[in-house]
């Protein structure tokens, strides 16, 4: 937290062993600061527009590409990694996967998604429900 002169007045720490508590805290942090810097300042003018809006999917897509490069994994593993090991949310992961599924991929990475899920049901395009098989590739 920062004061009206933008000086740090205190830091907020959150600790839990429960995955749901972790997820809810991350959601609250993203709601408070959509830039992903997770900072709040009284010096910030809430009536002033931001020049550059953050795009978490573009930040997360290459992280996922590097992490899972050359692997075939279920969407469950990608979402768990995102929730447990990054500052991003599950919704950011799903959007990043959409970006990676485009014809040319994104920033040197591309995914291929199998049309059938683990349970034998069909996957709808641009969705990544649990049990979806995703292959990560480096391109370019």
Q: Are 110 and 139 spatial neighbours (Cβ–Cβ below 8 Å)?
A: yes
List CB contacts of 55: < 8 A, sequence separation 6 or more: none
| Separation of alpha carbons 78 and 88, rounded Å | 12
Q: What is the pLDDT of residue 41?
A: 52
Q: Are 14 and 6 spatial neighbours (Cβ–Cβ below 8 Å)?
A: no
| Separation of alpha carbons 136 and 115, rounded Å | 15
Q: What is the DSSP letter of 8?
A: B
For the entire predicted model, the pTM comes to: 0.74
Q: What is the pLDDT of residue 8?
A: 77
Residue 134's DSSP bridge partners are: 73, 113
Q: What is the pLDDT of residue 40?
A: 53
Q: What is the pLDDT of residue 34?
A: 66
Q: What is the pLDDT of residue 10?
A: 66
Below-70 pLDDT ranges, the chain: 1-4, 10, 12, 14, 32-53
Q: What is the pLDDT of residue 16?
A: 77
**Torsion angle defined by CA atoms of residues 121, 125, 127 and 132, in that order, rounded to the nearest 10 degrees:** 40
Residue 111's DSSP bridge partners are: 136
Q: What is the pLDDT of residue 121?
A: 96
Could you tell me which of 18, 12, 1, 132 has the C-alpha nearest to residue 79?
A: 132
Q: What is the pLDDT of residue 31?
A: 78
């Amino acid at each position: 937290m920062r004061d009206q002169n933008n000086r740090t007045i205190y830091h907020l720490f959150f600790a839990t062993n429960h995955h749901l508590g972790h997820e809810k805290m991350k959601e609250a942090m993203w709601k408070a600061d959509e830039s992903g810097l997770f900072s709040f300042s009284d010096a910030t003018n809430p009536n002033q527009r931001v020049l550059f809006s953050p795009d978490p999917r573009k930040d997360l897509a290459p992280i996922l590409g590097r992490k899972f490069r050359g692997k075939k994994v279920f969407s469950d593993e990608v979402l768990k990694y995102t929730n447990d090991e990054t500052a991003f949310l599950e919704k950011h992961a799903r959007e990043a996967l959409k970006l990676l599924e485009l014809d040319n991929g994104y920033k040197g990475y591309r995914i291929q998604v199998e049309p059938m899920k683990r349970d034998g049901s069909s996957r709808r395009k641009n969705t990544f429900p649990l049990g979806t098989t995703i292959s990560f590739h480096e391109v370019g």
